[in-house]
Amino acid sequence: MGMLINVFGIEGKFISLSDNIKFKMKRQDIVEIIGEEKSAYLLDHQSKTISKDLLHLPGSDFVDRIWMQSNRNPQVLRSLQAIYGHGRLAESGYVSILPVDQGIEHSAGSSFAPNPIYFDSENIVKLAIEGGCNAVASTFGVLGSVARKYAHKIPFIVKINHNEFLSYPNTFDQVLFGTIKNAWDMGAVAVGATIYFGSEGSRKQIVEIAKAFDYAHELGMATILWCYTRNDAFKKDGVDYHTATDLSSQANHLGVTIQADIIKQKLSTNNGGYNAIKFGKTHPKVYSELTTDHPIDLNRYQVANCYMGRAGLINSGGESKGATDLAEAVETAIINKRAGGQGLISGRKAFQKPMNEGIQLLNTIQDVYLSKDVDIA
């Protein structure tokens, strides 16, 4: 894990926290974090569903090998390379992104009360830089407030829409908070957006974001889509199928259809959503041959629905639960990497704790992707 020094120097001035040394994580280091049993379960699994040989796996040549064949213009290729070429994971093909849009999606109080320094937008960017991230993803307001100071120091990803969660009653909808041109003007290399697939407003959101992504590509920015399912009907007989791999993977497939370059998705927790809600179409082989109940196999089906990895799949880090955050983050990173995914986007687990601990957590996630002891299943 990266070597750490104090967060604040003389008179509270911010100083560098990480020397960006690439710690060579071994299996025993993982065992010490998540335990022997869980390590064996995740590290020894060999997938017999979709062969890893069919996947377009991350690598230092990912932009040349995958995106150079596409319709993305040279400016987009440069923006993608800016993300893949930054931070502790630079030139590995993997990404570690700090996302902080929860001040809108949840509320500023619920997000930043655990560590009030993050009410100050500058500290969000500092955490991403000192944490060795490839990029920082946040709101127009957060990134715009410090753009002249930091846009040339770390790739900016501007989240263009949100569910502001103050209108009552809450609805499963996303509202645009700014323009693509505004994101480009502040120096962003990419824009991000959320679509609530399956919600009443999803078709409107698809049209809005497809247009926004098209213009972002025209200007030379990359695009990242938060592909979330949202519909009360996706809960059946006490089981929540929002993160069922068959439903969430179809959300991924819709996301790459509107030409998202990277897909952000929650880790699958179960399967069989189509069969439970008795809506839409699926196939028996999805459950008998293409997936099992192992989390790596569930996640691989998500990767497959991103054109077999041509668009990178990054998984969410999830909420902060305190003492178990580090172990949960390592487990998620292992699942994503071994499934053929491209990285982790972890926010609350990093910023809802002291900054030095947040940096250590981000570095540990990155160490999983750098570790030769964590291979593709």
Name 65's Cβ contacts closer than 8 Å, sequence gap at least 6. 56, 59
How far is Cα 44 from Cα 111, in angstroms, rounded to an integer? Answer: 36
Element (H, E) at 123: helix 121-130
Contact between residue 152 and residue 187 where contact means Cβ atoms under 8 Å apart: yes
Angle among Cα 35, 40, 43 to the nearest 5 degrees reads 110
Q: Specify whether 264 is catalytic.
A: yes
* CB-based burial label for 350 (10 Å; 0-12, 13-18, 19+): buried
Report whether 188 contacts 222 (CB < 8 A).
no
Residue among 26, 52, 149, 264 flagged as catalytic? 264
DSSP string, 180-228: HHHHHHTT-SEEEEEEEETSTTHHHHHHHHHHHHHHHHHHT-EEEEEEE
User: What's phi and psi for 176, nearest 5 deg?
Assistant: -70, 135
Whole-number Cα distances in Å, 352 to 16, 127, 321, 368? 20, 11, 10, 21
3-class SS of residue 8: strand
Q: Are 103 and 111 in contact (CB under 8 A)?
A: yes
User: What tokens were used for 329?
Assistant: 């983050």
**Phi and psi torsions of 222, nearest 5°:** -80, 170
Q: Could you give the residue numbers annotated as active site?
A: 264
